[in-house]
Structure 1
Amino acid sequence: MDGNLPSGEAFIRQFLYGQKFFKEEFNVQCKEFWLPDTFGYSAQLPQIMKTCGINRFLTQKLSWSLFNKFPHHTFMWEGIDGSRVLTHFPPGDSYEMKGHVEEVVRTIKNYKDKGRSSKSVFLFGYGDGGNGPSEEMLQRLKRLEDVNGLPRVEMSTPDKYFTSVEQEDISKLCRWRGELYLELHNGTYTTHAKLKRYNRKCEFMLHNLEYLATISALTHKGYSYPRDELDHMWKQILLNQFHDVLPGSSIGLVFHDAVELYKDVEKKYKKLLAEVPFTKEKKSDSSSTIINNTLGWERKGIIALDNQGQSASKKRRVSTDSDLTQIDSFGQTLAFMEVAGYGYTVIKPKACQLHAHAFKKGQLHWLKNKIVSAAFDYEGRMTQLHLHGDDRNAMSKDYHGNQFVIFDDIPLFWDAWDVMDYHLETRKPVSEKLQHVKILDEGPLRASLEFSLKISDKSYIKQVISLDAESPNIRFDTEVTWHENRKFLKVEFPTSIHSMQASYDIQYGHLQRTNHNNTSWDSAQFEVCGHKWADISEHGYGLAVMNDCKYGYSCFDNVLRLSLLRSPKAPDEKADMGVHQFTYAVMPHKGSFQEAGVIQQAYDLNCPMFTTEVQGEVTESQSYFKVDNAQIILETVKMCEDQTKDKTVVLRLYESHGGKGKTVLTSSLPVKTAHRCNALEEIIEDTHKSVAGIEGDIHLTFQPFEIISIMVEFNL
């Protein structure tokens, strides 16, 4: 599997299904994670491994790093939460050696942990493309078992190797903290952007569907949890997360097969979602429209109500059809709504005090509400970005934000895989206007602007910039028609912020990386992987960039860039050609990004509230789960894997701020018992007692970035 791009829950499902397979087929539980070839390793993998019963890790790919030689071969790898796994990086610098004497000698000469460990692994066979070892290789290695002047060679197993290392004094081993960054193949964060978009969207589809199906299975006797369908959908997504599919480094036929799998997931999602009862109301001739919130906190925001897509006239664009709604320029009826976490409410538009407005002043177009305001020039570039009541401009005084830039993208080695640091020397702003900025919607619930730019004779950008009432972020809905040859498109935000590092969203947490080139290790990370957001902050002030389907970022000095599209020509000459749609948003904030709610805002962007028509008259709102501490994210709600426990649910939470915290998890459903479990859904023996408190409340204490799974049985 890829080690950077999947979500945290997808990582856990890879291990869950893998461990189930080995248990069913071989009656064993794996203790080793064997991943010789992938394009980098998330800093949260050690904890995810350990919660899935694995405490040993082997990889080979780090030998491919282009700038720095990794300093260890046998070491303890520590994740962002402090979890450690015994890790081996075979010193032969290959996962397909042939058993030659020189390879064995090179293995010993390269080994950097002599004196700390006396053993290493020799990986042999035709390993890149299959076929395994040949008879000649086995004969050569047999002859090398005990030769004077050469290291002893012994046929072994991963378990025997790691056990022998553990029997030595592992306290002598060095420790590596954080991600294992591969200094190569960082173009895979962006190549084949449609696969990345499908991946993010499908991961959140399954998040929504599992939660809604779980609640329905608990509260409706006639509804059956679609376990088999969900398993199949997860396995389709996990298959596409193989390290040459989701990264975009496969041939064109693989891309087409992967898209068909994603489309099948989407089709099944729509079908299964239509079968979910949603509410407790009994079936009747009447119906109601509800708004669903599938995240764990109360959300206030603008939602588009279904009105059959009627077009809006100019007059309707600048007015509303009632005091509480607005018809936007796309014919959508907009309303301001409040919905409790993991719950729903009937549509009752609420009055909104912090209206949004669009207006022109001089040569600039402004979007403004009572939280944030932004000014744009005729090219759609952000010249000013202010928090309400603060005259500080979050944008640099010398350069503009929302600046599209294009780079020559001709790597030394492999087109789809690599982007080289020298591409940064070819920066060219995209500035030729096809349509200058104009106002689409003046408010009061949504204010928006539109413009378009020409990249080349074959490629162009169309963008709608919007600001909603009571929203802290400026949103950029973007469509790019892309027919370039070895070019790299990014959008950049030069800020007025002084900082030595930037923070990036990863699986179940975040990671800091430097934004300077002090050392070769710093400069090698000119293109890095992040998920839903990145943030650059100084004390008391910062700016976050969020997105709904991108994974490549770069930050140097005060400039934060989001990577949008590449156009490699091998192994798929048509990679990324066509029309792309994506959304990103910018959020200035006071205080830290944790205090400002950047993490929740990024979730909101990726997992919007949605409307559903249900049978019966719904008169009350409902919230099924609540967490009383913003540090703690309730990430997953699913039925237990044990089919005999039809009233037992697994809840997975994590600490998102990077600090210790306590929370009380409450449910509107009656809790019978609650136990800590691992990600394989095995009760943790040393906490086998119930963790349910008074009246079913579940009290939890978290370490920084800790993932906790709870098995809850409901009294229904």
Structure 2
Amino acid sequence: MTNRIPLRPSVATLAALLLAASLDAAEPPASGDRPTFWVIPHTHWEGAVFKTREEYLEMGLPNILRALRLLGEQPDYRFVLDQAAYVKPFLERYPDQEPAFRKYLAEGRLQIAGGLDVMPDVNMPGGESFVRQVQYGKGYYREKLGIDVTTGWLIDTFGHHAQIPQLMTLAGFRSYWTQRGVPFRTHPAEFLWEGIDGTRLPVFYMPASYAVMYGSPADPSKFREFVIARFRSLDANAPGKDRAGPAGVDVGLPEPQLAPMVEAFNKDPDRPFNLRIATPAEFEKVVAPRTDRPVFRGEMNPIFQGTYSSRIELKSWMRRMEARLVTAEKLTALSRILGGEVSDAGLWRAWEPVLFNETHDQASGVMTDHVYEDAIRGYESSDRLAGELIDAGWNALASRIDTRGEGIPVVVFNPMSWTRSDVTEVDVGFAVPGVAGVSVVDDRGVVRPSQLVSATSYPDGGLCAARVAFVAAEVPALGYRTYHVRTSAEPSRLPSPAPGHLENASHRLAIDDRTGAITSLRVKSGDWEVLRAPANVVARHQDRGDVWELYRGLDGGSNVALSNKQPVPPRGEAKYSDDEKGTPATVVTGPVYSEYRVAHPFAGGQYATTVRLYADLPRIDCTTTLVNNEKYVRYQLLFPTSIRGGKHLDEIPFGAMERPEGIEFPAQNWSDLADGEHGLAVLNAGLPGHTVADGTIMVSVLRSHNLGAYGFGGGYEPGMSSEGAFQIGKERTARYALLPHAGDWRDAGLARAGLEFNHPLIARPVGAHAGDLPPSKGFLEVCSPSVIVTSVRPMRDEAIAVRLYESTGRPAPGTRIRLSAFVADAADADLLENPREPIAVADGALSIDFRPFQIRTLILRTRSAPR
């Protein structure tokens, strides 16, 4: 390695940063009313980044043993542990240590902070993933140790979105400790953070990192010099009498010299301040009475922008598994509503590998290669478990549906909380001769548009198997509709070529059939041209960064939100995909959709894109597949719009944020640019990185980087490889969609659109049989279009937990909610699904108010509706 950069966060970097600014300063005069420097010993368990989960446990569990020994030997010592994925294995593997562990907890000298399964990234995973982190972590600590964790401890997480104050408060946290994302380096160390719904949360910002007091000397005179320098380094951030000095590093050892040196320092009559070893809770108690803490509004982003597209396939896995798991929960909850015996144990087994993979470093893709491979195995295991749960829930539901009728029954399930029309696909097979074509009929006898996506035939020409796309209209909310695929002697021809454009009732697209670029996107209503230049174009340009950072090497001490502007990559300096051409596009047309497919060489690699326009949908679905063969480059999709002076908004977990131009931010399901009259939204499936500059929406789809220069430590050792992150020769596919719209993002219903794109209708053939459920049924009704159900899951006590949020930033009073099962009683609950206040139920339904962007969890107990 060249230009070695020290371990993040670096003791050496801290020395340069802190000592230079403080050693020459005059020592504060001693007085009878000395300030106090609160030293907080901890260890930051990495979860998985340079080593796998198990390797880090082998490295890190002995640190807990050392901490327990120090707690036993030194009455003034304190220590902090956080992640359940770290503490749980310790108590399982060292059961004889549990009595001492409990004893120090009871004494308040050992504190559990964090309260989550891991220390996750909070920007890229969905909101329900964060809720599961809380439920898993705090649930474990309550059940195993009988404690409620109230100190939020995301000290190394790479930025924080603006719904964190509400989420943490709803989860019972009373504080939030972090070191990254404030707007300027001299930001006050203690402040109140106001989220987008108005909730305020006390924050404890660590301006000199979570290691400011780590690595102290064992010599009293050197310790005095060290600690005064550390104290003075916080002058600009914490000028009051009390300052917090965390003392821990990545998988760092507890320091036996700390308590003796603190005792010796406090005996010096000329000391400028007092030292006290403390827990975060003790420091929070001291600061709580203060009334002068400033209020910070908004988000603490972005940090480490390169992580939004490094090892991009991990982001795709994350999004896919979140969707599958919440769908599995919904189907399991429906089994409960229908009277089945269900358990949530299997759901948690499927969730935990996904929660672990959302560890801040792991989700970010900054790991070594063998850790990456371990993460993929975790996702694959979760995928299998989720599939089994979905199958079980589906079968329990489908077995109850009356599916009789002519043809092959196909049940289409809608996991969303609103009635929905969308395109879906199903695989069917035929064992009878003479099948030339098919048609699809719904439960009301209406023939729905359909077309063959692919087909195989018998030697006599009859269809053997086919994949059929069809329009599933008005599938009820959290419910299903039954269709029948009927055979015909008339052929259902595969789509045939069409002229060089795509068109439906809403849009007309022109596509360069040699490059794949969309050269025109015209909205027919109002005759608005969306684009000012070719779009759906990939720009590839040099990026001499690493897996963390765009265009530069890692600054492990980075704690101020990035404000560097990123222009649209200029042609000539960047290579554009439409600079190269291939053979003419493959074009298909049909009653359900029309589609262009283009492929050609690109910048020493390969490029392929598909653009699909549906006959009855406003959404334009796209995929782009890249094969990269060069190091230190990044790829961005470009959509140059005709919008000038518009606002850029991104979806965040349970909300949306307006963001400044030219800065890459992490988005959830959608990003939008609109001027109030018109807008273009880009929906994505696991592509977090979005930038808007000069009216162009840019989406990061691939980066080719490794760890770069990194100092050995924290588990990183000579010989470890991260070369796989260069993505050389690997095929990576980005899924996204375009949604031109009138008005702003609220008018366009983008919260719903983004969820529909990531939660497609589920269509499966079933057997024909009688059942006690009708051919079509919805199980949940929410009257307000801005209130979205994000989760429906079974509880252990036979109840159902439903989580909803207001998605537009506007009040939604009197929102009526009804389950198909008769609701006997209801209660408002926290994120742990503990009931708080009863809610009146009338005629089996309830009516509640929502503040802008408010998140609410409801506990519903049901019984059969009276006949």
Deviations 1:162-206 (A, max 9, x none): 11111232xx111111111244x1111111111111110000001
1:175 to 291, 295, 298: 295
Question: Alpha-carbon deviations, 1:34-73, whole Å to 9, x = none?
Answer: 121121112111111011000201112348x8xx425221
Q: Which residue of 2 aligns with 1:519?
A: none
Q: In the alignment, what sits opposite 2:821?
A: 669
Tell me the distance in 1 between the aligned counterparts of 2:757 and 2:135. 28
Deviation for aligned residue 1:112: 3.6
Which has the larger displacement, 92-101 or 23-32? 92-101
**1:477 Cα offset (Å):** 2.1
Contact persistence 1:98–1:137 (CA under 8 A): no
Kindly provide the amino acid, as one letter, of the partner of residue 667 in structure 1.
L
CA 114–479 in structure 1, closer or farther in 2 if over 3 Å, else same:
closer
Whole-Å separation in 2 of the counterparts to 1:41 and 1:282: 45
Counterpart of 1:353 in structure 2 is none
Q: CA deviation at 1:500?
A: 5.1
Aligned to 1:548: 685
SS of 1:463's equivalent in the other structure is: strand
Match of 1:269 in 2: 386
CA 1:436/1:715 → structure 2, altered by over 3 Å: closer, same or farther? same
Give CA deviations for 1:376-419 in whole Å, capped at 9, x if unaligned.
Answer: 123121221122232221111xx2111110121112xx444444
| Amino acid in structure 2 at the alignment position of 1:402 | N
Identify which range, 614-623 or 13-22, moves more after superposition: 614-623
Q: How does 1:339-354 map to 2 (within 5 A)?
A: 339-347=475-483
Does the 8 A contact of 2:679 with 2:740 survive in 1?
yes
CA positional deviation for 1:623: 0.1
1:366 matched to 2:511? The reply is no
Q: CA deviation at 1:307?
A: 3.0
Report the equivalent of 1:430. Answer: 577
SS for the counterpart of 1:638 is strand
Alpha-carbon offset, residue 480 of structure 1: 2.1
User: RMSD of the alignment, in Å?
Assistant: 2.7
| 1:144 corresponds to 2:275 | no
Counting only pairs closer than 5 Å after superposition, residues 472-551 of structure 1 correspond to structure 2 as: 472-499=618-645, 501-515=647-661, 526-551=663-688
Specify which of 191, 201, 221 is matched with residue 75 of structure 1.
191
* Local SS of the residue matching 1:435: coil
| 1:251-400 correspondence to structure 2 within 5 Å | 251-276=368-393, 277-279=395-397, 281-282=399-400, 288-307=409-428, 324-328=449-453, 332-338=467-473, 339-347=475-483, 365-378=500-513, 379-396=515-532, 399-400=533-534
Note the alpha carbon deviations across 1:590-638, whole angstroms, 9 max, x for none.
0112112222111111000011234534652010001111100011000
Note if 1:561 corresponds to 2:667: no
Which is further off, 99-108 or 695-704? 99-108
Instruction: Give, as a single letter, the amino acid of the residue that structure 2 aligns with 1:602.
Output: G
SS in structure 2 at match of 1:654? strand
Q: Specify which of 386, 403, 411 is matched with residue 537 of structure 2.
A: 403
Query: Deviation of residue 463 (structure 1)?
Result: 1.4
How big is the shift at 1:436?
A: 4.3
What code does the residue aligned with 2:775 have? E
Distance in 2 between residues matched to 1:656 and 1:340, nearest whole Å: 20
- What SS class does the counterpart of residue 834 from structure 2 fall into? coil
What is the rounded CA distance, in whole Å, between the counterparts of 1:502 and 1:78 in structure 2? 21
Say which is worse superposed, 10-19 or 574-583, in terms of deviation. 574-583
SS at match of 2:701: strand
| Distance (whole Å) between structure 2 residues aligned to residue 700 and residue 29 of structure 1 | 29
Counterpart Cα distance in 2 of 1:179 and 1:282: 47
Report the equivalent of 1:636.
791
CA distance in structure 2 between the partners assigned to 1:537 and 1:167 by the alignment? 44
The structural deviation recorded for 1:422 is 8.6
**Does 2:353 match 1:236?**
yes
Given candidates 596, 619, 624, the residue that maps to 2:779 is: 624
Give the C-alpha shift of residue 232 in structure 1.
1.3
Q: Do residues 704 (structure 1) and 841 (structure 2) align?
A: no
Deviates most, 599-608 or 101-110: 101-110
Residue 587 of structure 2: aligned partner = 440
List aligned pairs for 1:22-33, cutoff 5 A.
Answer: 22-33=141-152
Q: What is the CA distance between 1:484 and its match in structure 2? A: 2.7
Q: Which amino acid aligns with 1:23?
A: R
Aligned partner of 1:376: which letter?
I
Tell me what 2:63 maps to: none
- With over 3 angstroms needed to count, the CA separation of the structure-2 counterparts of 1:278 and 1:373, relative to structure 1, is farther
Go from structure 1 to structure 2 and tell me whether the alpha carbon gap of 1:145 and 1:92 turns closer, same or farther (over 3 Å shift). Answer: farther
Closer, same or farther: CA 137–603 of 1 in aligned 2, 3 Å: same
Are the structure 2 counterparts of residues 419 and 177 from structure 1 closer, same or farther at C-alpha, using a change threshold of 3 Å?
A: farther
**Equivalence map 1:108-257=2 (5 Å):** 108-114=232-238, 117-125=240-248, 127-128=249-250, 130-145=251-266, 147=268, 148-169=270-291, 172-183=292-303, 185-221=304-340, 224-257=341-374
Q: Secondary structure at the match of 2:336?
A: helix
Shift of 1:138: 3.3
Picking from 157, 160, 164, the partner of 1:45 is 164
CA contact (8 A) 2:822 2:844 kept: yes
- Cα deviation, 1:539-577, whole Å, max 9, x if unaligned, reads 221110011111111111211101000111226111134
> Using a 3 Å threshold, how does the CA distance of structure 1 residues 462 and 651 change in structure 2: closer, same or farther?
same
Residues 676 and 708, structure 1, Cα contact 8 Å, conserved in 2: yes
SS in 2 for 1:181: coil
Letter in 1 for 2:808: H
Q: Could you say if the C-alpha distance between residues 182 and 589 of structure 1 is closer, same or farther in structure 2, counting changes exceeding 3 Å?
A: closer
How far apart in 1 are the matches of 2:539 and 2:613?
23
- Which of 198, 211, 225 is the equivalent residue of 1:95? 211
SS across alignment from 1:244: helix
**Does the Cα contact within 8 Å between 2:608 and 2:626 map onto a contact in 1?**
yes
What TM-score comes out, normalization by structure 2 length? 0.73
Q: 2: distance between equivalents of 1:4 and 1:191? A: 15
- CA drift of 1:249 comes to 0.6
Aligned to 1:680, which of 832, 856, 866?
832
1:140 to 1:405, Cα distance in 2 relative to 1, 3 A: same
Paired with 2:293 and 2:566, the residues of 1 have a C-alpha distance of 38
Structure 1: distance between partners of 2:271 and 2:852: 50
Distance 2:454 2:595 in 1: 9
CA shift digits 1:268-311 (9 cap, x unpaired): 1222222223437559998832000000111112221213599x
* 3-state SS, counterpart of residue 9 of structure 1: helix
TM-score (norm 1): 0.88
Checking the alignment, whether the CA contact within 8 Å between 2:422 and 2:617 is kept in structure 1 is yes
Over the matched positions of the two proteins, sequence identity in percent amounts to 22
Distance 1:682 1:423, change over 3 A: closer
The 3-state SS of whatever aligns with 1:622 is strand
Q: 2:608 is paired with a residue of what secondary structure?
A: strand
**Counterpart Cα distance in 2 of 1:308 and 1:487:** 45
2-side partners of 1:284 and 1:494: how far apart?
50
* CA deviation vs aligned residue, 1:648-669 (integer Å, no higher than 9, x gap): 1000000000111121111111
Deviations 1:304-326 (A, max 9, x none): 1213599xxxx999xx9x98321
- Provide the aligned length of Structure 1 versus Structure 2: 667
* Contact preservation (8 Å) 1:39, 1:186: no
Q: 1:566 to 1:558 in 2, by over 3 A?
A: same
